[in-house]
């Protein structure tokens, strides 16, 4: 089986719109990438979110808020599993 190509992008714009998603989708097609991550500062417009749904399952573009990824792992509390 062929392995899927992957990519990650961090956006400069505070809120991502449909225009940016179309550009990323076009790049994914040109570079034969089927799965990508996009890190956004403040989220996406409703039309941009809908375009992610429309692209699936051929292209998967997963969105993360930048704030969600800014976790200091040295300060993270782990939960202990007790029986």
pLDDT tens digits, one per residue of 28-44? 999 999 999 999 999 99
pTM of the model: 0.70
pLDDT at res. 1: 40
Residue 60 lies in a domain: yes
Domain count along the chain: 1
**Residue for token pair 């998603």:** 21
* Residue 31: inside a domain: yes
Domain that holds residue 49: 7-67
Q: How many CB atoms lie within 10 A of CB 51?
A: 19
Name the more confident of 74 and 25.
25
**35 to 18, 31, 56: CA distances (angstroms):** 18, 11, 10
Any domain includes 40: yes
pLDDT at site 76: 62
| pLDDT bucket at 50, cuts 50 / 70 / 90 | very high
Q: Is 27 part of a structural domain of the chain?
A: yes
């Amino acid at each position: 089986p062929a392995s899927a190509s992957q990519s990650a992008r961090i956006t400069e714009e505070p809120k991502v719109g449909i225009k940016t998603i179309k550009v990323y989708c076009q790049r994914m097609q040109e570079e034969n990438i089927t799965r990508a991550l996009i890190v956004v500062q403040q989220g996406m417009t409703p039309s941009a979110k809908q375009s992610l749904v429309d692209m699936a399952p051929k292209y998967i573009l997963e969105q993360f808020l930048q704030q969600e990824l800014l976790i200091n792992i040295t300060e993270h509390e782990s939960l202990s599993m007790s029986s």
